Structure 1
Amino acid sequence: MTNDTTTFFTWEAGARIAVRNLGGEIVIEANAAGLKTLAAHLLALSRDGTPDGAHLHLEENNGLEEGSASLVLERCDDE
């Protein structure tokens, strides 16, 4: 079975997102544009036709602020 669905991730202008690992909890800090960006990423992953396992890696200097912990957003339809 082939899947011709392409997932596009868009970024709001001025988005700032930081992920902090504080040991027992993860904190995601973002300005308004960053929160809208994360929401758009999650909505993109939730769209019909998006395959199980589709994911996006966010890392320091690749979408996240300097000093951030890495974050993976992944669709998992297994129950």
Structure 2
Amino acid sequence: MDFVMSVPEHRVGEGLQFAWDDDFEIEMEVGATEVVIRANRAGLTSLARHLLTLAQQGVHEGSHIHLTADQEIDSQIDLVLERVEKD
């Protein structure tokens, strides 16, 4: 089965655009030795799209998306996905 996902195109000077699928659900549990992220299909595709948005050519180091506890994710703490450049 083919799966096609559209990713908002990065345009210099306009900031990053993040798109959510309807009815997404994401929860995160932080334990002593692991972090578990659980999501429905819409939540997983939304997270994948966010990561692909950050991975685009021209996106600067330090660009990030901040997922706020009990808003975008069901969690006690926030989750930050950030781009870094390593050699």
Fold equivalence (TM over 0.5): yes
Q: Matched residues in 2 for 1:20 and 1:69: separation?
A: 9
User: Contact 1:52 / 1:75 at 8 angstroms: preserved in 2?
Assistant: yes
Structure in which a larger fraction of residues adopt strand: 1
Structure 1: stretches of 5+ with no match in the other structure: none
Aligned residue pairs total 76
Q: Does 1:51 align with 2:87?
A: no
Provide runs of 4+ in structure 1 moved above 4 Å: none
Structure 1 partner of 2:45: 36
Q: Matched residues in 2 for 1:11 and 1:62: separation?
A: 13
Matched letter for residue 25 of structure 2:
R
Farther-moved stretch of structure 1 (54-63 vs 11-20):
54-63
Structure 1 partner of 2:69: 60
Structure 2: stretches of 5+ with no match in the other structure: 1-11
Higher relative contact order structure (alpha carbons within 8 Å, sequence separation ≥ 6): 1
Farther-moved stretch of structure 1 (55-64 vs 11-20):
55-64
TM-score, with structure 2 as normaliser: 0.79
Structure 2 partner of 1:78: 86
Q: Percent identity?
A: 36
Matched residue SS, 1:63: coil
Q: Does 1:27 align with 2:43?
A: no
